[in-house]
Chains A and B, each alone.
Chain A
Amino acid sequence: MIGGLGQAGRLGNGSEAMVERRVPILAVAVFVVFGIFVARLFQLQIIESADLRQRSQRNSVRTEILEAPRGDIFDRSGRLLATTRPAFGVKVLPVDLSEREMTLSAVGELLDANPVELDERVGKPVGRQRFQAVYLEDDAPYDRLARVESHLYALPGVMTDIRPRRDYVGGERAAHLLGLIGEIDADELAKPDFAGYRRGEVIGKAGVETLMEPHLRGHAGGRNVVVDVAGRSIEVIDEVLPLPGGSVTLTIDLDLQEVAEEAFLPDVLGEPARMGAVVALDPRNGDVLAMVSKPSFDPNDFAGGVDDETWERLTGDRWRPIQNRAISGQYAPGSTYKAIVGAAALETGVIDETEKIYCPGSFTLGRRTYRCWKREGHGDVDMHDALKKSCDVYFYQVGLRLGIDRIAEFAAGFNLGRRTGIPLHNEQPGLNPTSAWKERRFAEVWMKGETVSASIGQSFNLVTPMQLAVAFGALATGRVVVPRILLHTTEMDGRLRAGPDPRFTGHIPVSPENLAIIRAGLEAVVQETGGTGGRARVPGVRVVGKTGTSQVVGLEHTDGLEDDEVAIQHRDHAWFASYAPAEDPEIVVVALVEHGGGGGSTAAPVAQKVLARYFEKRSLEESENPNSSPDIRQVEGSGDEAWEEAVDEEPSFELRARPPWLERLPEVSFAGD
């Protein structure tokens, strides 16, 4: 169509000619440039396409973790101690907070929160942080969440979510045993034990939560979500629901635990709550029936990430509520030690059952005088009376005859100075001193006077309440048992697995005849008039026990003062170690009341409450079900065989539409669901 141009007048040097001649250059330029573009398109869209498409997906698909609820923890009769409940969160995406003031004040009203505080919590995020959701409330009550939910359409930028949260149903109940949870830290992440854990994941930090971590953890689920550049979820592509962790049944008996904990509450209004520990143990198999440490803490405070204030309060407290005194608190055993010194004396023959020693109220060795707790003296006492009345002078002399190393040998036979092997962290070994130990430790010779103190458990000796419980269990049965806390577990697929079999580390080196003499003396402590532990009596039950008072500071701090004038931190620790019934021991109870004064007056009543509750329960169960003994373990045998027969062949789990911890709730409706 451009053909047929009159060429004649246009040749020459005019501008027409110039256009005519030079335009093809421009056409070539167009071809070259756009040719390069097509080549580049080919490179990007054909050659590099797969790679770039992948990057595009990484841009827009985000994987969200769905935390698995931790497994439940039960007491030995299946009562819930720890579970997982839904925590309702209300959060905002700052970038979407188009009407900030109005929205925050509305949310404040709905949540009963101060809008100014909410505003501070949101702050002034800049850059990418604007796309990071900020929690206004991470654990709102259900009714408040419902209020927010129903107004969500009018609150731009506000979102809600539900996350599993650990719930210790009893609050402080058995806190030290259950332990606590917290976010995994960098050191833990580096350990092989925590291979496969993610940053920010919650793990057990103490107690059963740590011990059973792999079992309780469950399998986290996840989902792939399409997000826009602001990180807002547009669409869920696929989803794998989390699998809750397996549950754990402990040997603990919630009733005994409750009674023991409540024994530390002040009897009289205004009296300070007591501190100390209680251990109740079945000496026949090692089951820990109660384990108390006071003061305590509420592990729920840690469940949602501990706030600084609570953390300061707990760690800064001079009475150290976090410490588990039952296994980590080391105290001089005081007079409870006399049971072991007595057994050693009879067994080695340094004294016999009939020999009497005169107690004038004090004992002098060299230039130093050692007092009996009873200033006027006990007069002539034999082994039985010495135990019953807890005569110090008798044991000073017996101890001197034995010498520290023979005492230590027998104490070691009762497992003192060694960890009991309870599967909890931070168990302390106590201290069973010998002359060789002192030489090593202080490069000093063992002094006879120290043996005198040691024979009433007041020298370098240290025991934990758990150790003393194991030692008294050994007095009761003749065997040293390893305490255990795990009755059985339920796997994620529903199969039961028995806990560890009872384990004993050995027999005590005492003949049955001599043991009988000691046991009789200890029974007299409680049952006979004039015994120091009369307050531990339980009607109808033969209780065997020993009081103890362990001196905290030198006498110079307390001499001349009436009992209630001594500063609390200078008062003696009170011990009571016991087992029952005498004829066929089923339970050991050790009570320690820190700065409680006399063992007979403050610790024995604590142990008594536990014993009374135990036997009350037993007689109740016997009358209901006369053929079954209450102490038969619910799960017999060990390993899988016993249980694989009892359960279906088919694994009974499947991915459920709603995680079970959500099913305990009324149906929650969500805007946009």
Chain B
Amino acid sequence: MLGIDRRLVQNFDWPLFGLILTIVGVGVVNLASATHDDRWISPELYRQLLAISLGGVGMLVVVAIDYRHFERLAIPIFLVSLALLVATLIFAPVTRGSRSWLFGGSLQPSEVAKLALILMLARFFHRNPARDMHALPSLLQLGMIIVLPVGLIVMQGDAGMALLTLFIACTFLVFVRIPWGAWLGIALTGVLGLVTLWMFALAPYQRSRILDVIDPGRDPLASGYQAIQSRIAVGSGGLLGSGYMEGTQTQLRFLPTQHTDFAFSVLGEEWGFVGSTFVLMLYVALMLWGLMVARSAKDGFGGLLAVGVVAVIFWPATLNIAMVLGLAPVIGVALPLLSYGGSAIVITLVSLGLLLNVSMRRYVF
């Protein structure tokens, strides 16, 4: 099962690997600026480099295991991830209003849950061809797969992560063949759900964050502060940026959480339109490559798994960048591969390991 075929090495997806390395490299360079102080290397940078190494090892391990084994392992992994989520609810201390870290803050089970969920969904859609979708038992099964982890994450109080997980799961709906009327029904339910959420489930601060997107000047010193400072940072970058480690917004710490959620504004300020567009292109290239891997996969499971990995990149990237650019409310979603965050980078690299895995085994059977 761990046998390394010579053909596998030949077929290793070097361009994809290079792309991943490039984005991670940009992230490290950017983090160095965002956390720059008098020290030669900031503690954040040091921990991020450690996490990247760990993630790199994880990625190589995952690459080595034929992805088809994961189809069988999907259910145990999924159950373990649910157990971790439950454990978090019981044992984890409350930090910043939510209960989402285990083992003294070194593990974020909701990150693991994302990975488990795409494995589980890929397995499900592979085993349930589209034409069987109308059957109630399989719909119920699908519902359980999605609702269980999302529900547990909501219970942790991490709204951003819950929404993200839900979006990732919903990506798989493109593979469901149902009548247009049903789509309409889903859309309506979604709208009603959002209204209910707004009226009953959202905390006042969450509501005001949404209002801030519509009118950022509403409350410039409180809830709108981050949104405004982020836009100022990005905008003041101009065409070519203020230069590496020269951004005043960044270096004078006007940006809150600039090394995590607002990493992209640092990039925008210091590298300008040219630099930030280049980074956006890197992400587009990564995701399109992933989708091509999905199409060329040897089997359905591989293809679905590749789509899941792309979704794991796409949704947080989209929500994060939209937030930084003032197009979406301020929700705590990090930019994959670029933001500071140990669990996130490890899980993202492991997920990309799955993508490399599917890619290099497209000819092997």
Contacts and interface: CB of A to CB of B under 8 A. Distances in A.
Interface stretch (A44-52, A167-175, A280-288, A309-317): A44-52
A13 B125 CA distance: 12
Interface in A2-45: 2, 5, 13-16, 18-20, 22-23, 25-27, 29-31, 33-34, 36-38, 40-42, 44-45
B252 A226 contact: yes
Contacts of A33: 314, 318
B280 A60 contact: no
Interface string A55-74: 11101100000000000000
A36 B236 CA distance: 20
Given A45-B238, A46-B238, A55 B232 contact: yes
Interface stretch (B26-34, B206-214, B292-300, B345-353): B292-300
A306 interface: no
Given A15-B126, A26-B171, A56 B299 contact: no
Interface string B189-219: 0000000000000000000000000000000
B327 interface: yes
A180 B242 CA distance: 51
A402 to B, nearest CB: 77
B327 A45 contact: no
B235 A30 contact: no
- For the side of the interface on B, what is the size category? 35 or more
B301 A45 contact: no
A53 interface: yes
Given A52-B232, A226-B252, A26 B300 contact: no
A117 interface: no
B300 A30 contact: no
A13 B130 contact: yes
Contact of A18 (B175, B231, B283, B297): B175
12 contacts: A2-B296, A15-B175, A19-B175, A19-B303, A23-B291, A25-B174, A33-B314, A34-B280, A45-B239, A52-B232, A56-B249, A226-B252
A520 interface: no
Interface in B236-293: 236-239, 248-249, 252-254, 268, 272-273, 276-277, 280, 283-284, 287-288, 291-292
Interface stretch (A203-211, A227-235, A578-586, A618-626): A227-235
A16 B300 contact: yes
Given A18-B130, A18-B175, A19-B300, 11 more contacts: A5-B362, A16-B299, A30-B314, A38-B277, A41-B280, A41-B325, A45-B238, A45-B239, A46-B273, A52-B232, A228-B254
B9 to A, nearest CB: 16
A234 B248 CA distance: 11
Given A45-B234, A52-B232, A18 B300 contact: yes
Contacts of B131: 13
Contacts of A234: 252
Given A15-B129, A16-B299, A18-B300, A45 B288 contact: no
A15 B174 contact: no
Given A16-B303, A23-B294, A40-B327, A34 B284 contact: yes
A264 B248 CA distance: 64
B294 to A, nearest CB: 5
Contact of B277 (A22, A29, A31, A41): A41
B254 A27 contact: no
A118 to B, nearest CB: 28
A19 B248 contact: no
Contact of A14 (B129, B171, B238, B284): B129
Contacts of A48: 235
Nearest to A61: B248
Interface residues of A, number: 44
Contacts of B295: 2, 19-20, 23
B364 to A, nearest CB: 13
A228 B251 CA distance: 8
Interface in B119-154: 125-126, 129-131
Interface in B304-343: 304, 307, 310, 314, 318, 321-322, 325-327
B233 interface: yes
Contacts of B239: 45-46, 49
A53 B235 CA distance: 7
Given A51-B235, A56-B232, A45 B249 contact: no
B45 to A, nearest CB: 20
A429 B214 CA distance: 67
Contacts of A52: 231-232, 234-236
A16 B292 CA distance: 13
A48 B249 CA distance: 16
A15 B235 contact: no
Give 10 nearest A-B pairs by CB, closest first. Answer: A52-B235, A15-B300, A19-B303, A56-B236, A53-B236, A2-B296, A45-B273, A228-B252, A44-B235, A49-B238
Nearest to A5: B296
Contacts of B248: 56-57, 59-60, 226
A5 to B, nearest CB: 6
A38 B280 contact: yes
A392 B107 CA distance: 107
Interface in A395-423: none
Contacts of A57: 248
A14 B299 CA distance: 10
B325 A37 contact: yes
A27 B295 CA distance: 11
Given A15-B301, A19-B307, A49-B235, A30 B130 contact: no
B254 A45 contact: no
A55 B229 CA distance: 9
Contact of B231 (A5, A15, A26, A44): A44
B291 A27 contact: yes
A568 B97 CA distance: 74
A59 B291 contact: no
Contacts of A15: 125-126, 129-130, 175, 300-301, 303-304
A36 B253 CA distance: 28
A408 B130 CA distance: 119
Q: Which of A31, A46, A56, A226 has the most CB of B within 10 A?
A: A56
Contact of B291 (A26, A38, A49, A228): A26
Q: Which of B272, B276, B303, B304 has the most CB of A within 10 A?
A: B303
A234 B251 CA distance: 11
A18 B252 CA distance: 51
A34 B317 CA distance: 10
A131 B296 CA distance: 59
Nearest to A31: B284
B210 to A, nearest CB: 18
B187 to A, nearest CB: 16
A38 B322 CA distance: 11
A48 B190 CA distance: 35
A44 B129 CA distance: 46
Contacts of A226: 248, 252
Contacts of B171: 26
A48 B233 CA distance: 12
Contacts of A38: 277, 280
A652 to B, nearest CB: 41
Contacts of A30: 284, 287-288, 291, 314
B283 to A, nearest CB: 7
Contacts of A51: 235
Contacts of A2: 292, 295-296, 362
A69 B318 CA distance: 58
Q: Which of A15, A19, A56 has the most CB of B within 10 A?
A: A19
A227 B252 contact: yes
A48 B238 CA distance: 9
Contact of B252 (A5, A27, A60): A60
Contacts of B174: 22, 25-26
A527 to B, nearest CB: 80
Contact of A229 (B231, B236, B252, B273): B252
